């Protein structure tokens, strides 16, 4: 007895699968490249906030030196956040007493460009980034 088997050849199916795999890989690479900027920006914002909180903890006050450090960090990292301090000062001064808490809030928004049509403005998404740190003064003021 002879068995006859019909074989179906799918000649183009492997090529179609490769095209779909390539499209998926390219879209993942595009997403990674376009989302890389906000992650780096967030990391720089976190570093700036940690550095400022540590400086205030060591100095026990928020003065022109801290503001100069904030401006130096902004220019060095190429970021432009808004910096807001919330602290309970010794009355009439900019000094924070030993073991008193203070809060630093750093805010900014970053734009991600989705695509740029030739006939108009680019389509972007604004992503708000905010970091809040709480510090404790390590200086005793008489």
Q: Is residue 8 part of a domain?
A: no
Which residues of the chain carry a pLDDT beneath 50?
Answer: none
Structural domain includes residue 10? no
pTM of the predicted model as reported, rounded to 2 decimal places: 0.76
Structural domain that includes position 62: 15-136
Q: Structurally, how many domains does the chain consist of?
A: 1
59-90 as b/e: b if 16+ CB within 10 A: bbbbeeebeebbeebeeebebebebebebeee
Q: Are 106 and 82 in contact (CB under 8 A)?
A: yes
Q: Is 99 part of a structural domain of the chain?
A: yes
Angle at CA of residue 116, ends 115 and 119, nearest 5°: 140
* 108-113 CB contacts, 8 Å cutoff, 24+ apart: 108/41, 108/45, 108/79, 108/80, 108/81, 108/82, 110/37, 110/38, 110/41, 112/34, 112/35, 112/37, 112/38, 113/34
Determine, yes or no, domain membership for 122.
yes
């Amino acid at each position: 007895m002879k068995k006859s088997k019909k074989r179906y050849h799918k000649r183009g199916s492997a090529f179609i699968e490769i095209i779909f795999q390539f499209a998926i890989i390219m879209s993942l690479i595009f997403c990674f490249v376009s989302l890389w900027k906000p992650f780096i920006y967030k990391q720089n914002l976190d570093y700036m906030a940690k550095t400022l909180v540590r400086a205030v903890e060591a100095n026990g006050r928020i003065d022109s030196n801290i503001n100069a450090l904030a401006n130096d960090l902004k220019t060095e990292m190429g970021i432009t956040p808004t910096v807001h301090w919330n602290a309970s000062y010794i009355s009439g001064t900019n000094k924070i007493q030993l073991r008193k808490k203070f809060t630093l809030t750093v805010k900014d928004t970053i734009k991600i460009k989705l695509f740029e049509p030739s006939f108009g403005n680019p389509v972007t998404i604004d992503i708000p980034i905010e970091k809040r740190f709480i510090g404790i003064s390590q200086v005793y003021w008489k």
